Amino acid sequence: MLWYAEIFLAFLFFLFLFHWGWNKHLPIINWPVFGMLPGLLQNAEDVHNFVTRLLKYYGGTVEFRGPWFTNMNFVVTGDPANIHHVLNRNFSNYEKGPEFREIFEPLGDGIIGSDSDWWRYQRKVLQSMIKSRKFELFLEKVSRGMVEKGLIPILDHVSNLGIEVDLQDIFQRCRPQLVFWLVATHASVEAKILEEIKEQLPANNENQRVFSVDELSKLVYLHAAICESLRLFPSLPFEHLHAVGSDILPSGHSINPNTRLLYSIYSMGRMESIWGKDCLEFKPERWISEEGQIVHVPSHKFLTFNTGPRSCVGKHMTFILMKMAATAVLLNYRVEVVEGHPIMPNISVVLHMKHGLKVRISKRRI
């Protein structure tokens, strides 16, 4: 009996070695029984960059196989043609799925968790409200208050003390902290932003720390720097959908009813095929045309704010808030990232830095 067991184990070991030898050149191995799960777990610490490598290797779309008899198979894509198809052209065939509805159930019938006519109605109301001039002025007033009464006093205090602070705590995990990190580590970008502010808004004086919405709209280079940081570090690194009926993606992949589809917004911001050879560089200039205007990149390629009928309604608002905070901080303070501080995106539904963002803040004299 023992003899049979030994032969069986030796046979299994041989099969394992043979399978490994045959597939070791692949970025992820599809093992019998365990599927691709071991490879995924091995790279869990740096999953966003791992998925980016997989998508590049497989030409933009990969079918992930989970362990046998589990419901863990899904299709991962970062191919703009697939994204356009799924989120625009064949939008009605893809929905958020039961897990998503469960998460948002406690929030009731809000716009994010709801579907169909009720969602359509809420979206229309919200959009018409956000687009109105009255709302823009209201937003300006509220944001000005937040910057003047919240942000500036904290930064004044911290710069007076000369201590290290975690910018992630100050901004409570919102995007501007990444803009500051990217700007602080790219001296030429910082200089260009300051130059633009001085050139476009020369009226500013010691007391004017917060600009109006109209003034902020003149800052093209700053707008480009924000687009660039949102490209490299989107707030939502990935999203997932469930197919209702069968479909064929433009890449040729077949989709069966109930197939889970995951799209990586993080990877799409780092694809050479979309952004060119310098896709990993922080280069606001890529967003500026020869005429000095912001280049329009279709939303199914720059996916940070999603695309199609469910795209983000707060995009314009986000730029106002980020520009207001960025100008107030950059004009008045110098932000220096503490040397040797590790910067690593965390595995999470919302992207943030695993070790925070330790900086030193000092007053800027212009």
Q: Is 143 in the site for ligand HEM (CB under 6 A)?
A: no
- String of contacts with ligand HEM for each residue 17-56, x by CB under 6 A: ----------------------------------------
- List CB contacts of 108: < 8 A, sequence separation 6 or more: none
Q: Is 123 in the site for ligand HEM (CB under 6 A)?
A: yes
Cα distance between residue 345 and residue 170, in whole Å: 18
Q: Is 139 in the site for ligand HEM (CB under 6 A)?
A: no
Q: Is 279 exposed, middle or buried (0-12, 13-18, 19+ CB in 10 A)?
A: middle
DSSP H helical ranges for the chain = 2-23, 37-42, 47-57, 80-84, 98-104, 116-131, 133-145, 152-161, 167-170, 176-184, 187-200, 213-216, 220-232, 265-268, 272-275, 315-332
DSSP assignments along 219-271, one per residue: -HHHHHHHHHHHHHS-SS-EEEEEESS-EE-TTS-EE-TT-EEEEEHHHHTT-
Binders of ligand HEM among residues 173 to 192 (CB under 6 A) are 175
Q: Is 153 in the site for ligand HEM (CB under 6 A)?
A: no
User: How many residues line the site for ligand HEM (CB under 6 A)?
Assistant: 18
Residue 211 Cβ vs ligand HEM, minimum distance, rounded to whole Å: 18
In this chain, which stretch among 28-36, 58-66, 191-199, 314-322 interacts with ligand HEM, using CB under 6 A? Answer: 314-322
Q: Is 168 in the site for ligand HEM (CB under 6 A)?
A: no
Q: Is 262 in the site for ligand HEM (CB under 6 A)?
A: no
Place of tokens 């500051």: 180
CB closer to ligand HEM, 175 vs 358: 175
In this chain, which stretch among 28-36, 52-60, 228-236, 285-293 interacts with ligand HEM, using CB under 6 A? Answer: 228-236
Q: Is 299 in the site for ligand HEM (CB under 6 A)?
A: no
Q: Do 283 and 176 meet the contact criterion of CB atoms below 8 Å apart?
A: no
- Binding-site ranges for ligand HEM (CB under 6 A): 111-112, 123, 126, 175, 234-236, 239, 304-306, 310, 312-314, 317-318
